[in-house]
Amino acid sequence: MTEETSTLIVPNDEYLKAGIHIGTKFRTKYMSNFIYKTRSDGLSVLNIQAIDERLKLAAKMLSHYAPEDILVVCRRETGVKPVQMFGKATGAKVFAGRYPPGTMTNPALKYYTEAKIMLVGDAWPDKNAVDDALKAGIPVIALCDTNNQSNNIDLVIPCNNKGKKSLGLVFWVLAKLYMEYRGLSNKGQAFGYSIDDFSEE
């Protein structure tokens, strides 16, 4: 094992198996910084080292906030279970499914909720949530594929944000690191949840 791969959060094979690095055929100018190569079938491949580094950065950023101050939003169906499990493991607030505009900005709504930081599964389908966060003046972390724009995003996590295994792995890693950085579990200790717990069947 090289020094480079030994610093990864999970073994390189785990990332590859989950397809966390497989992008789309479309690439935006911003996401090109994270693209390692384009395959012969036209799909862009994301740099695993960059994914790993951004996951650490995101978890570190989240760890500055108490669980009740974090709101995780994911409209994509493949992200429902991973997001719910993230909430269960960390205590963060989650919104899986369609996010109604005004959830964070209109106190008159019965589902009104407050947060100090937001994590979204995809900046495009979750744009209502991103708009709300912008109005509320809170930072946004977003999972972004090769076809995403990065408007109004404070921290981008490059990854396959569509596949169920990839989303399961991303939210498992973020939950595990969040708990470690908050001092709620020890590094190297069993996390209590497996990657499979976070992935759709």
CB contact set of 183 (below 8 Å; sequence gap of 6+) = none
Please check whether residue 103 is in contact with residue 96, taking contact to mean a CB–CB distance below 8 angstroms: no
Under 8 Å CB-to-CB from 69, ≥6 apart: which residues?
115, 116, 117
CA-wise closest residue to 53 among 38, 34, 68: 34
Q: Which residues contact 31 (CB under 8 A, 6 or more apart)?
A: 23, 144, 145, 146, 147, 148, 150, 156, 158
Higher pLDDT: 27 or 93? It is: 93
**Domain boundaries of the chain, sorted by first residue:** 3-177
Class of the 3-177 domain?
alpha beta
Higher pLDDT, 3 or 156: 156
Identify the pLDDT of residue 182. Answer: 92
Name the least confident of 24-38, 113-127, 136-150. 24-38
pLDDT digits (tens, 9 = 90+) for 116-126: 999 999 999 99
Q: What are phi and psi of 94, to 5 degrees?
A: -130, 150
Mean pLDDT of 106-119: 94
